[in-house]
Chains A and B, each alone.
Chain A
Amino acid sequence: MPDTLRHYLFIAVPLLVVLAVLPSVYNNHLLLFNFVIFFILAQGVNIIYGFTGYLPFGYVGFFGAGAYGFALMVMHLNSPAPVAVLAGGLVAVVLGLILTPLLRLAGAYFSIANLAAALAVLHLIANPALESITKGPYGVALNGTFNPTWAYAGAVLILALTLGIVVYLKNSSFGLALQAVREDSFSASMSGVNVVKMRTIAWLASALVAGLAGGVFAWYVSVFYPDNVFSADFSIFAIVFALFGGVATICGPLIGVIILYGIYNLIGFTTPQYFQLIYGLLIMGLVLFLPAGLVSLATRRGWNVP
Protein backbone atom coordinates (compact mmCIF):
# COMPACT_ATOMS: atom_id res chain seq x y z
CA MET A 1 0.00 0.00 0.00
CA PRO A 2 1.45 3.41 -0.87
CA ASP A 3 2.49 5.54 2.11
CA THR A 4 0.07 8.33 1.24
CA LEU A 5 -2.91 5.97 1.43
CA ARG A 6 -1.63 4.41 4.65
CA HIS A 7 -1.26 7.83 6.24
CA TYR A 8 -4.80 8.78 5.25
CA LEU A 9 -6.29 5.46 6.37
CA PHE A 10 -4.41 4.99 9.63
CA ILE A 11 -3.90 8.55 10.88
CA ALA A 12 -6.21 11.09 9.25
CA VAL A 13 -9.39 9.01 8.89
CA PRO A 14 -9.43 7.49 12.42
CA LEU A 15 -8.80 10.90 14.01
CA LEU A 16 -11.54 12.54 11.95
CA VAL A 17 -13.99 9.72 12.70
CA VAL A 18 -13.31 9.93 16.43
CA LEU A 19 -13.76 13.71 16.35
CA ALA A 20 -16.99 13.33 14.38
CA VAL A 21 -18.43 10.78 16.83
CA LEU A 22 -17.24 12.28 20.13
CA PRO A 23 -19.84 15.09 20.40
CA SER A 24 -22.60 12.49 20.64
CA VAL A 25 -21.00 10.74 23.61
CA TYR A 26 -19.17 13.60 25.33
CA ASN A 27 -20.90 16.74 26.52
CA ASN A 28 -18.15 19.32 26.66
CA HIS A 29 -18.46 20.39 23.04
CA LEU A 30 -16.47 23.58 23.51
CA LEU A 31 -13.48 21.54 24.66
CA LEU A 32 -13.76 19.25 21.63
CA PHE A 33 -14.02 22.27 19.36
CA ASN A 34 -10.92 23.81 20.89
CA PHE A 35 -9.04 20.55 20.38
CA VAL A 36 -9.96 20.61 16.69
CA ILE A 37 -8.86 24.26 16.41
CA PHE A 38 -5.49 23.44 17.97
CA PHE A 39 -5.05 20.36 15.78
CA ILE A 40 -5.48 22.68 12.79
CA LEU A 41 -3.21 25.42 14.12
CA ALA A 42 -0.44 23.03 15.23
CA GLN A 43 -0.50 21.42 11.78
CA GLY A 44 -0.51 24.88 10.21
CA VAL A 45 2.67 25.68 12.14
CA ASN A 46 3.99 22.30 11.02
CA ILE A 47 3.45 23.26 7.35
CA ILE A 48 5.45 26.46 7.61
CA TYR A 49 7.96 25.61 10.34
CA GLY A 50 8.34 21.85 9.97
CA PHE A 51 8.69 21.87 6.23
CA THR A 52 10.39 25.21 5.57
CA GLY A 53 12.01 26.25 8.86
CA TYR A 54 10.21 29.57 9.39
CA LEU A 55 9.02 29.85 13.01
CA PRO A 56 5.92 32.07 12.91
CA PHE A 57 5.61 33.84 16.29
CA GLY A 58 2.80 35.91 14.82
CA TYR A 59 0.88 32.95 13.41
CA VAL A 60 -2.25 34.14 15.25
CA GLY A 61 -2.37 37.06 12.80
CA PHE A 62 -3.84 34.71 10.18
CA PHE A 63 -6.27 33.24 12.70
CA GLY A 64 -7.48 36.67 13.79
CA ALA A 65 -7.67 37.87 10.19
CA GLY A 66 -9.81 34.81 9.39
CA ALA A 67 -12.10 35.49 12.35
CA TYR A 68 -12.58 39.11 11.28
CA GLY A 69 -12.96 38.08 7.64
CA PHE A 70 -15.89 35.94 8.82
CA ALA A 71 -17.31 38.71 10.99
CA LEU A 72 -17.14 41.37 8.25
CA MET A 73 -18.87 39.09 5.75
CA VAL A 74 -21.67 38.33 8.20
CA MET A 75 -22.07 41.89 9.53
CA HIS A 76 -21.91 43.77 6.27
CA LEU A 77 -23.03 41.31 3.62
CA ASN A 78 -25.28 39.00 5.64
CA SER A 79 -23.32 36.21 4.13
CA PRO A 80 -24.14 32.57 5.04
CA ALA A 81 -21.67 31.20 7.59
CA PRO A 82 -19.87 28.63 5.34
CA VAL A 83 -19.22 31.32 2.71
CA ALA A 84 -17.96 33.65 5.43
CA VAL A 85 -15.57 30.93 6.68
CA LEU A 86 -14.13 30.63 3.17
CA ALA A 87 -13.82 34.41 3.06
CA GLY A 88 -11.91 34.22 6.35
CA GLY A 89 -9.46 31.81 4.71
CA LEU A 90 -9.17 34.13 1.73
CA VAL A 91 -8.46 37.16 3.94
CA ALA A 92 -5.66 35.22 5.65
CA VAL A 93 -4.18 34.26 2.26
CA VAL A 94 -4.25 37.91 1.18
CA LEU A 95 -2.54 38.87 4.44
CA GLY A 96 -0.01 36.10 3.77
CA LEU A 97 0.63 37.55 0.30
CA ILE A 98 1.16 41.01 1.77
CA LEU A 99 3.62 39.53 4.25
CA THR A 100 5.61 37.43 1.75
CA PRO A 101 8.55 39.90 1.87
CA LEU A 102 9.08 38.66 5.45
CA LEU A 103 10.29 35.37 3.97
CA ARG A 104 13.48 37.16 2.97
CA LEU A 105 14.35 37.27 6.66
CA ALA A 106 15.84 34.26 8.37
CA GLY A 107 15.67 32.73 11.83
CA ALA A 108 14.71 34.96 14.75
CA TYR A 109 14.44 38.01 12.47
CA PHE A 110 11.57 36.40 10.62
CA SER A 111 9.87 35.33 13.86
CA ILE A 112 10.03 38.81 15.38
CA ALA A 113 8.92 40.54 12.18
CA ASN A 114 6.00 38.10 11.94
CA LEU A 115 5.04 38.85 15.56
CA ALA A 116 5.15 42.58 14.80
CA ALA A 117 3.00 42.06 11.71
CA ALA A 118 0.35 40.21 13.75
CA LEU A 119 0.30 43.03 16.28
CA ALA A 120 -0.03 45.57 13.49
CA VAL A 121 -3.08 43.75 12.12
CA LEU A 122 -4.58 43.55 15.63
CA HIS A 123 -4.18 47.28 16.19
CA LEU A 124 -5.55 48.09 12.77
CA ILE A 125 -8.70 46.09 13.43
CA ALA A 126 -9.02 47.33 17.03
CA ASN A 127 -8.65 50.96 15.96
CA PRO A 128 -11.66 52.92 17.30
CA ALA A 129 -11.64 55.00 14.11
CA LEU A 130 -12.72 51.88 12.22
CA GLU A 131 -15.63 51.18 14.53
CA SER A 132 -18.18 51.42 11.75
CA ILE A 133 -16.40 48.65 9.86
CA THR A 134 -14.76 46.35 12.41
CA LYS A 135 -16.47 47.52 15.63
CA GLY A 136 -12.98 48.48 16.74
CA PRO A 137 -11.98 47.51 20.27
CA TYR A 138 -15.60 46.95 21.29
CA GLY A 139 -15.74 43.53 19.69
CA VAL A 140 -18.32 41.90 17.45
CA ALA A 141 -21.58 40.17 18.30
CA LEU A 142 -22.78 38.26 15.27
CA ASN A 143 -26.48 37.67 14.72
CA GLY A 144 -28.09 34.91 12.74
CA THR A 145 -25.15 32.59 12.26
CA PHE A 146 -24.71 31.06 15.73
CA ASN A 147 -24.75 27.31 15.27
CA PRO A 148 -22.13 25.40 17.28
CA THR A 149 -23.05 22.04 15.77
CA TRP A 150 -22.42 23.13 12.20
CA ALA A 151 -19.42 25.21 13.21
CA TYR A 152 -17.91 22.11 14.81
CA ALA A 153 -18.58 20.10 11.65
CA GLY A 154 -16.92 22.87 9.66
CA ALA A 155 -13.88 22.75 11.93
CA VAL A 156 -13.54 18.98 11.45
CA LEU A 157 -13.77 19.52 7.69
CA ILE A 158 -10.99 22.14 7.84
CA LEU A 159 -8.91 19.73 9.91
CA ALA A 160 -9.44 17.14 7.17
CA LEU A 161 -8.14 19.63 4.60
CA THR A 162 -5.17 20.49 6.82
CA LEU A 163 -4.27 16.83 7.36
CA GLY A 164 -4.61 16.32 3.63
CA ILE A 165 -2.03 19.06 3.03
CA VAL A 166 0.37 17.62 5.62
CA VAL A 167 0.03 14.05 4.31
CA TYR A 168 0.72 15.40 0.82
CA LEU A 169 3.81 17.30 2.02
CA LYS A 170 5.07 14.25 3.88
CA ASN A 171 4.80 12.01 0.82
CA SER A 172 5.36 14.19 -2.23
CA SER A 173 8.42 15.42 -4.02
CA PHE A 174 7.05 18.92 -3.35
CA GLY A 175 7.27 18.30 0.40
CA LEU A 176 10.74 16.82 -0.01
CA ALA A 177 11.85 19.90 -1.93
CA LEU A 178 10.48 22.12 0.86
CA GLN A 179 12.54 20.20 3.38
CA ALA A 180 15.55 20.62 1.10
CA VAL A 181 14.91 24.38 1.11
CA ARG A 182 14.74 24.30 4.90
CA GLU A 183 18.10 22.49 5.10
CA ASP A 184 20.01 24.69 2.65
CA SER A 185 18.28 27.07 0.32
CA PHE A 186 21.21 27.54 -2.08
CA SER A 187 21.83 23.81 -2.39
CA ALA A 188 18.11 23.44 -3.01
CA SER A 189 18.20 25.99 -5.81
CA MET A 190 21.24 24.16 -7.23
CA SER A 191 19.01 21.09 -7.29
CA GLY A 192 16.67 23.05 -9.54
CA VAL A 193 14.15 24.00 -6.86
CA ASN A 194 12.49 27.41 -7.21
CA VAL A 195 13.05 28.37 -3.59
CA VAL A 196 11.00 31.58 -3.51
CA LYS A 197 7.97 29.95 -5.13
CA MET A 198 8.07 26.88 -2.88
CA ARG A 199 8.35 28.91 0.32
CA THR A 200 5.54 31.19 -0.75
CA ILE A 201 3.20 28.28 -1.48
CA ALA A 202 3.89 26.71 1.94
CA TRP A 203 3.46 30.08 3.64
CA LEU A 204 0.11 30.69 1.94
CA ALA A 205 -1.12 27.14 2.66
CA SER A 206 -0.25 27.66 6.29
CA ALA A 207 -2.03 31.05 6.27
CA LEU A 208 -5.08 29.51 4.61
CA VAL A 209 -5.67 26.83 7.25
CA ALA A 210 -5.20 29.32 10.11
CA GLY A 211 -7.59 31.75 8.41
CA LEU A 212 -10.23 29.05 7.93
CA ALA A 213 -9.75 28.02 11.58
CA GLY A 214 -10.24 31.66 12.61
CA GLY A 215 -13.38 31.88 10.49
CA VAL A 216 -14.90 28.75 11.98
CA PHE A 217 -13.90 29.93 15.47
CA ALA A 218 -15.81 33.18 14.89
CA TRP A 219 -18.77 31.13 13.71
CA TYR A 220 -18.66 28.97 16.84
CA VAL A 221 -18.33 31.74 19.44
CA SER A 222 -20.15 34.55 17.56
CA VAL A 223 -19.16 37.11 20.21
CA PHE A 224 -15.51 38.12 20.54
CA TYR A 225 -13.07 40.98 20.95
CA PRO A 226 -9.94 41.65 18.89
CA ASP A 227 -7.82 40.62 21.87
CA ASN A 228 -9.51 37.19 21.94
CA VAL A 229 -8.80 36.20 18.36
CA PHE A 230 -5.37 37.87 18.18
CA SER A 231 -4.25 36.47 21.54
CA ALA A 232 -0.57 35.48 21.45
CA ASP A 233 -1.64 32.32 23.31
CA PHE A 234 -2.86 30.86 20.02
CA SER A 235 0.57 31.27 18.40
CA ILE A 236 2.45 30.08 21.45
CA PHE A 237 0.24 27.06 22.05
CA ALA A 238 0.26 26.03 18.40
CA ILE A 239 4.05 26.33 18.20
CA VAL A 240 4.70 24.55 21.49
CA PHE A 241 2.27 21.72 20.66
CA ALA A 242 3.86 21.21 17.23
CA LEU A 243 7.43 21.30 18.59
CA PHE A 244 6.57 19.07 21.55
CA GLY A 245 5.25 16.31 19.32
CA GLY A 246 7.81 16.80 16.57
CA VAL A 247 7.52 18.76 13.35
CA ALA A 248 7.90 17.58 9.73
CA THR A 249 5.77 14.56 10.68
CA ILE A 250 2.03 13.98 10.50
CA CYS A 251 1.71 12.47 13.99
CA GLY A 252 4.00 14.79 15.95
CA PRO A 253 1.79 17.90 16.15
CA LEU A 254 -1.29 15.74 16.81
CA ILE A 255 0.45 13.98 19.72
CA GLY A 256 1.64 17.35 21.02
CA VAL A 257 -1.91 18.74 21.07
CA ILE A 258 -3.37 15.63 22.72
CA ILE A 259 -0.79 15.56 25.52
CA LEU A 260 -0.19 19.24 26.21
CA TYR A 261 -3.66 20.58 25.55
CA GLY A 262 -4.97 17.57 27.51
CA ILE A 263 -2.81 18.50 30.52
CA TYR A 264 -3.83 22.13 30.15
CA ASN A 265 -7.49 21.19 30.38
CA LEU A 266 -7.00 18.68 33.19
CA ILE A 267 -5.17 20.96 35.56
CA GLY A 268 -4.77 24.32 33.83
CA PHE A 269 -8.00 25.75 35.26
CA THR A 270 -8.26 23.92 38.57
CA THR A 271 -4.68 24.23 39.76
CA PRO A 272 -2.97 26.71 37.47
CA GLN A 273 0.14 26.86 39.67
CA TYR A 274 0.85 23.13 39.14
CA PHE A 275 -0.05 23.42 35.51
CA GLN A 276 2.54 26.10 34.91
CA LEU A 277 5.13 24.10 36.84
CA ILE A 278 4.46 20.92 34.88
CA TYR A 279 4.29 22.80 31.58
CA GLY A 280 7.58 24.54 32.29
CA LEU A 281 9.29 21.30 33.23
CA LEU A 282 7.94 19.49 30.18
CA ILE A 283 9.11 22.21 27.82
CA MET A 284 12.54 22.45 29.46
CA GLY A 285 12.92 18.68 29.34
CA LEU A 286 11.92 18.70 25.71
CA VAL A 287 14.41 21.40 24.72
CA LEU A 288 17.22 19.71 26.66
CA PHE A 289 16.63 16.06 25.80
CA LEU A 290 14.32 15.86 22.80
CA PRO A 291 14.86 18.95 20.64
CA ALA A 292 13.25 17.15 17.70
CA GLY A 293 10.10 16.43 19.73
CA LEU A 294 8.54 13.32 21.22
CA VAL A 295 8.63 11.47 17.92
CA SER A 296 12.43 11.49 18.08
CA LEU A 297 12.15 8.85 20.83
CA ALA A 298 11.16 6.57 17.98
CA THR A 299 13.22 8.02 15.14
CA ARG A 300 16.40 7.72 17.21
CA ARG A 301 15.80 3.98 17.28
CA GLY A 302 15.63 3.99 13.52
CA TRP A 303 11.84 3.71 13.39
CA ASN A 304 10.12 5.66 10.72
CA VAL A 305 7.46 7.94 12.19
CA PRO A 306 4.91 9.16 9.67
Chain B
Amino acid sequence: MSPDNVPILRVNDLLKRFGGFHALDGLTFHVSSGEILGLVGPNGSGKTTAINVISGLYAPDRGEVLFDGTSVGGMASHKLVHRGINRTFQVPKPFMSLTVRQNLEVARTYGRAGASGPSMSDLLEEYRLADVADRPAHDLTNVQQKMLDLVRALATQPRLLLLDELAAGLNPTELDWIAERIKALAKGGLAIIVVEHLMGFIEQITDRVIVMNAGKEIFEGTLAVAVKVPEVIEVFLGGEHAA
Protein backbone atom coordinates (compact mmCIF):
# COMPACT_ATOMS: atom_id res chain seq x y z
CA MET B 1 0.00 0.00 0.00
CA SER B 2 1.42 3.28 -1.04
CA PRO B 3 -0.89 6.12 -0.14
CA ASP B 4 -0.67 9.27 -2.23
CA ASN B 5 0.50 12.28 -0.34
CA VAL B 6 -2.46 14.47 -1.28
CA PRO B 7 -5.48 13.53 0.83
CA ILE B 8 -8.68 12.86 -1.15
CA LEU B 9 -10.78 13.58 1.95
CA ARG B 10 -10.09 16.11 4.64
CA VAL B 11 -12.48 16.85 7.49
CA ASN B 12 -11.81 19.93 9.56
CA ASP B 13 -13.22 20.69 12.98
CA LEU B 14 -16.50 18.80 12.43
CA LEU B 15 -19.25 19.42 14.93
CA LYS B 16 -22.53 17.53 14.93
CA ARG B 17 -25.10 18.05 17.67
CA PHE B 18 -28.19 16.00 18.48
CA GLY B 19 -30.06 18.22 20.91
CA GLY B 20 -27.53 18.98 23.62
CA PHE B 21 -25.37 15.95 22.79
CA HIS B 22 -22.22 16.56 20.77
CA ALA B 23 -21.82 13.42 18.66
CA LEU B 24 -18.88 15.04 16.85
CA ASP B 25 -16.93 17.72 18.64
CA GLY B 26 -14.14 19.17 16.54
CA LEU B 27 -13.15 16.07 14.60
CA THR B 28 -10.29 16.61 12.16
CA PHE B 29 -8.61 13.98 9.99
CA HIS B 30 -7.71 13.10 6.41
CA VAL B 31 -7.37 10.05 4.20
CA SER B 32 -5.56 9.56 0.89
CA SER B 33 -6.20 7.45 -2.17
CA GLY B 34 -4.92 3.92 -1.68
CA GLU B 35 -4.97 4.26 2.10
CA ILE B 36 -7.05 2.29 4.60
CA LEU B 37 -7.84 4.37 7.66
CA GLY B 38 -9.43 2.80 10.73
CA LEU B 39 -11.87 4.72 12.91
CA VAL B 40 -12.03 3.05 16.31
CA GLY B 41 -13.45 3.96 19.66
CA PRO B 42 -16.02 2.82 22.17
CA ASN B 43 -19.75 2.82 21.41
CA GLY B 44 -21.10 6.37 21.13
CA SER B 45 -17.70 7.88 20.35
CA GLY B 46 -18.99 9.29 17.04
CA LYS B 47 -17.57 6.87 14.46
CA THR B 48 -20.82 6.18 12.66
CA THR B 49 -21.88 9.82 12.96
CA ALA B 50 -18.65 10.77 11.20
CA ILE B 51 -19.53 8.35 8.37
CA ASN B 52 -23.09 9.68 8.27
CA VAL B 53 -21.86 13.26 7.92
CA ILE B 54 -19.31 12.39 5.24
CA SER B 55 -21.91 10.42 3.26
CA GLY B 56 -24.49 13.21 3.42
CA LEU B 57 -27.06 11.71 5.79
CA TYR B 58 -26.46 14.58 8.20
CA ALA B 59 -25.23 18.10 7.50
CA PRO B 60 -22.47 19.16 9.90
CA ASP B 61 -23.32 21.92 12.38
CA ARG B 62 -19.82 23.32 12.01
CA GLY B 63 -16.62 22.52 10.21
CA GLU B 64 -16.00 21.36 6.68
CA VAL B 65 -15.76 18.20 4.64
CA LEU B 66 -13.37 18.62 1.71
CA PHE B 67 -13.48 15.95 -0.96
CA ASP B 68 -10.95 16.34 -3.72
CA GLY B 69 -10.46 19.94 -2.62
CA THR B 70 -14.17 20.82 -2.84
CA SER B 71 -16.34 21.50 0.17
CA VAL B 72 -19.09 18.86 0.18
CA GLY B 73 -20.45 19.15 3.74
CA GLY B 74 -24.25 18.99 3.73
CA MET B 75 -24.42 18.03 0.04
CA ALA B 76 -27.21 15.60 -0.95
CA SER B 77 -26.09 11.98 -0.79
CA HIS B 78 -26.73 11.18 -4.44
CA LYS B 79 -24.50 14.07 -5.46
CA LEU B 80 -21.74 12.74 -3.20
CA VAL B 81 -22.17 9.35 -4.86
CA HIS B 82 -21.74 11.01 -8.26
CA ARG B 83 -18.54 12.64 -6.99
CA GLY B 84 -17.22 9.30 -5.81
CA ILE B 85 -18.11 8.84 -2.14
CA ASN B 86 -19.93 5.71 -1.04
CA ARG B 87 -20.52 3.65 2.07
CA THR B 88 -21.91 0.47 3.52
CA PHE B 89 -24.35 0.29 6.42
CA GLN B 90 -23.92 -1.25 9.87
CA VAL B 91 -27.23 -3.01 9.26
CA PRO B 92 -27.27 -3.70 5.52
CA LYS B 93 -30.11 -2.02 3.67
CA PRO B 94 -30.48 -3.71 0.31
CA PHE B 95 -33.66 -3.24 -1.72
CA MET B 96 -35.30 -6.32 -0.24
CA SER B 97 -37.90 -7.17 -2.85
CA LEU B 98 -35.54 -6.57 -5.78
CA THR B 99 -33.18 -9.29 -6.94
CA VAL B 100 -29.45 -9.07 -6.26
CA ARG B 101 -28.91 -8.23 -9.91
CA GLN B 102 -31.56 -5.48 -9.85
CA ASN B 103 -29.99 -4.05 -6.68
CA LEU B 104 -26.73 -3.68 -8.56
CA GLU B 105 -28.38 -2.45 -11.72
CA VAL B 106 -29.73 0.57 -9.83
CA ALA B 107 -26.27 1.39 -8.47
CA ARG B 108 -24.56 0.88 -11.82
CA THR B 109 -27.11 2.97 -13.70
CA TYR B 110 -27.31 5.86 -11.26
CA GLY B 111 -23.80 5.75 -9.78
CA ARG B 112 -20.81 7.80 -10.89
CA ALA B 113 -21.49 8.65 -14.53
CA GLY B 114 -18.84 7.86 -17.06
CA ALA B 115 -16.78 5.75 -14.70
CA SER B 116 -15.77 2.35 -15.96
CA GLY B 117 -15.09 -0.56 -13.70
CA PRO B 118 -15.59 -4.26 -13.22
CA SER B 119 -18.63 -5.80 -14.91
CA MET B 120 -21.65 -6.85 -12.90
CA SER B 121 -20.86 -10.53 -13.34
CA ASP B 122 -17.27 -9.98 -12.13
CA LEU B 123 -18.53 -8.19 -9.03
CA LEU B 124 -21.09 -10.92 -8.31
CA GLU B 125 -18.47 -13.61 -8.79
CA GLU B 126 -15.82 -11.84 -6.72
CA TYR B 127 -18.11 -11.27 -3.74
CA ARG B 128 -19.71 -14.73 -3.86
CA LEU B 129 -23.13 -13.58 -4.97
CA ALA B 130 -23.28 -15.17 -8.43
CA ASP B 131 -25.35 -18.13 -7.23
CA VAL B 132 -28.01 -15.90 -5.73
CA ALA B 133 -27.97 -13.20 -8.42
CA ASP B 134 -31.58 -13.74 -9.41
CA ARG B 135 -32.97 -14.16 -5.90
CA PRO B 136 -34.66 -11.28 -4.05
CA ALA B 137 -32.41 -9.69 -1.44
CA HIS B 138 -34.68 -10.77 1.44
CA ASP B 139 -33.76 -14.40 0.68
CA LEU B 140 -30.07 -13.72 1.40
CA THR B 141 -28.18 -14.52 4.60
CA ASN B 142 -26.94 -11.62 6.70
CA VAL B 143 -23.40 -12.05 5.37
CA GLN B 144 -24.65 -12.15 1.78
CA GLN B 145 -26.68 -8.99 2.44
CA LYS B 146 -23.52 -7.33 3.75
CA MET B 147 -21.65 -8.35 0.61
CA LEU B 148 -24.52 -7.06 -1.52
CA ASP B 149 -24.36 -3.76 0.34
CA LEU B 150 -20.61 -3.61 -0.34
CA VAL B 151 -21.01 -4.53 -3.99
CA ARG B 152 -23.81 -1.94 -4.34
CA ALA B 153 -21.35 0.67 -3.10
CA LEU B 154 -18.58 -0.60 -5.39
CA ALA B 155 -20.90 -0.67 -8.40
CA THR B 156 -21.17 3.13 -8.21
CA GLN B 157 -17.39 3.34 -8.83
CA PRO B 158 -16.42 5.18 -5.65
CA ARG B 159 -13.06 6.84 -4.99
CA LEU B 160 -13.69 6.94 -1.25
CA LEU B 161 -15.41 4.03 0.47
CA LEU B 162 -16.71 4.13 4.03
CA LEU B 163 -17.18 0.71 5.61
CA ASP B 164 -19.36 0.71 8.71
CA GLU B 165 -18.79 -2.51 10.66
CA LEU B 166 -18.60 -4.66 7.58
CA ALA B 167 -16.80 -7.42 9.47
CA ALA B 168 -19.33 -7.89 12.29
CA GLY B 169 -20.92 -11.32 12.04
CA LEU B 170 -18.36 -12.80 9.65
CA ASN B 171 -16.58 -16.03 10.63
CA PRO B 172 -12.73 -16.14 10.76
CA THR B 173 -12.38 -17.55 7.24
CA GLU B 174 -14.73 -14.94 5.84
CA LEU B 175 -12.85 -12.23 7.77
CA ASP B 176 -9.53 -13.22 6.17
CA TRP B 177 -11.17 -13.35 2.78
CA ILE B 178 -12.84 -9.93 3.06
CA ALA B 179 -9.63 -8.42 4.53
CA GLU B 180 -7.79 -9.47 1.37
CA ARG B 181 -10.54 -8.00 -0.81
CA ILE B 182 -10.41 -4.67 1.04
CA LYS B 183 -6.62 -4.52 0.78
CA ALA B 184 -6.88 -5.24 -2.94
CA LEU B 185 -9.39 -2.42 -3.37
CA ALA B 186 -7.00 0.01 -1.66
CA LYS B 187 -4.16 -1.23 -3.84
CA GLY B 188 -6.33 -0.30 -6.80
CA GLY B 189 -6.34 3.31 -5.58
CA LEU B 190 -9.51 3.45 -3.49
CA ALA B 191 -9.38 5.45 -0.25
CA ILE B 192 -11.11 3.45 2.49
CA ILE B 193 -12.30 4.38 5.96
CA VAL B 194 -13.15 1.41 8.16
CA VAL B 195 -15.27 1.67 11.30
CA GLU B 196 -14.87 -1.55 13.21
CA HIS B 197 -14.89 -3.10 16.68
CA LEU B 198 -12.82 -6.15 15.73
CA MET B 199 -9.28 -4.99 16.56
CA GLY B 200 -7.59 -7.99 14.94
CA PHE B 201 -9.34 -7.15 11.70
CA ILE B 202 -8.41 -3.47 12.00
CA GLU B 203 -4.78 -4.40 12.63
CA GLN B 204 -4.80 -6.72 9.63
CA ILE B 205 -5.98 -4.14 7.10
CA THR B 206 -5.32 -0.57 8.23
CA ASP B 207 -2.32 1.65 7.59
CA ARG B 208 -3.33 4.09 10.30
CA VAL B 209 -6.07 4.45 12.89
CA ILE B 210 -7.84 7.37 14.52
CA VAL B 211 -9.04 6.57 18.02
CA MET B 212 -12.15 8.56 18.89
CA ASN B 213 -13.80 9.36 22.17
CA ALA B 214 -16.76 11.69 22.77
CA GLY B 215 -16.69 12.97 19.20
CA LYS B 216 -12.99 13.89 19.25
CA GLU B 217 -9.78 12.30 18.05
CA ILE B 218 -7.61 11.19 20.95
CA PHE B 219 -4.94 9.31 19.03
CA GLU B 220 -3.66 8.98 15.49
CA GLY B 221 -1.11 6.40 14.35
CA THR B 222 -0.80 2.66 14.01
CA LEU B 223 -2.95 0.35 16.09
CA ALA B 224 0.18 -1.30 17.50
CA VAL B 225 1.17 2.00 19.08
CA ALA B 226 -2.40 2.97 20.02
CA VAL B 227 -2.86 -0.01 22.31
CA LYS B 228 0.06 1.18 24.44
CA VAL B 229 -1.24 4.72 24.93
CA PRO B 230 -2.75 5.15 28.42
CA GLU B 231 -5.51 7.49 27.24
CA VAL B 232 -6.62 4.96 24.62
CA ILE B 233 -6.58 2.13 27.14
CA GLU B 234 -8.58 4.26 29.51
CA VAL B 235 -11.44 4.96 27.06
CA PHE B 236 -11.66 1.32 26.06
CA LEU B 237 -11.22 -0.38 29.41
CA GLY B 238 -11.85 2.25 32.09
CA GLY B 239 -9.47 4.33 34.22
CA GLU B 240 -8.12 1.65 36.58
CA HIS B 241 -6.53 -0.31 33.69
CA ALA B 242 -4.47 2.60 32.42
CA ALA B 243 -0.77 2.09 32.97
* Interface residue ranges, A against B (CB under 8 Å): 173, 176-177, 179-180, 183-184, 186-195
Q: List the A side residues contacting B102 at CB < 8 Å.
A: 176
Q: How many angstroms from the CA of A173 to the CA of B55 in the assembled complex? A: 24
Contact (Cβ within 8 A) B78 A186: no
Q: How many angstroms from the CA of A180 to the CA of B103 in the assembled complex? A: 8
Q: How many angstroms from the CA of A135 to the CA of B26 in the assembled complex? A: 63
Q: List the B side residues contacting A188 at CB < 8 Å.
A: 95, 106
A-B contact pairs, 8 of them (CB 8 A): A180-B103, A184-B94, A187-B95, A189-B56, A189-B76, A190-B77, A191-B107, A193-B110
Contact (Cβ within 8 A) A183 B111: no
Q: List the B side residues contacting A191 at CB < 8 Å.
A: 81, 106-107, 110-111, 152, 155-156
User: A269 → chain B, closest Cβ, in Å?
Assistant: 39
Known: A187-B89, A187-B152. A193 touches B95 (CB 8 A): no
Chain B 51-83, CB-CB to A under 8 Å as 1, else 0, gives: 000011100000000000000000011100110
Known: A179-B95, A180-B95, A183-B98. A189 touches B106 (CB 8 A): no
Known: A187-B93, A191-B111. A176 touches B106 (CB 8 A): yes
Q: Does B40 contact A (CB under 8 A)?
A: no
Q: Does B87 contact A (CB under 8 A)?
A: yes
Q: List the A side residues contacting B87 at CB < 8 Å.
A: 190
Contact (Cβ within 8 A) A192 B94: no
User: A122 → chain B, closest Cβ, in Å?
Assistant: 35
The 8 Å CB contact of A193, one of B78, B94, B112, B153, is B78
Q: Does B165 contact A (CB under 8 A)?
A: no
- Contact count A vs B, C-beta below 8 Å: 75
Q: List the B side residues contacting A195 at CB < 8 Å.
A: 78
Q: Does B105 contact A (CB under 8 A)?
A: yes
Q: List the A side residues contacting B109 at CB < 8 Å.
A: 173, 176-177, 192
Chain B 176-203, CB-CB to A under 8 Å as 1, else 0, gives: 0000000000000000000000000000
Interface-central residue, A187, A190, A193, A195, by most chain B CB under 10 Å: A190
Contact (Cβ within 8 A) A179 B97: yes
Q: Does B6 contact A (CB under 8 A)?
A: no
Q: List the A side residues contacting B57 at CB < 8 Å.
A: 186
> Which residue of A has the minimal Cβ distance to B162?
A190
Q: List the B side residues contacting A189 at CB < 8 Å.
A: 56, 76-78, 81
Q: A188-B106, A191-B81, A192-B81 are in contact. List 4 more A-B contacts (CB 8 A).
A: A173-B106, A173-B110, A187-B93, A191-B110
Q: Does B206 contact A (CB under 8 A)?
A: no
Contact (Cβ within 8 A) A190 B98: no
B87-140 CB contacts (< 8 Å) to partner A: 87, 89, 93-98, 102-103, 105-107, 109-112
> Which residue of A has the minimal Cβ distance to B81?
A192
Q: How many angstroms from the CA of A192 to the CA of B95 in the assembled complex? A: 14
Interface-central residue, B56, B57, B109, B112, by most chain A CB under 10 Å: B109
Contact (Cβ within 8 A) A192 B110: yes
Contact (Cβ within 8 A) B98 A192: no
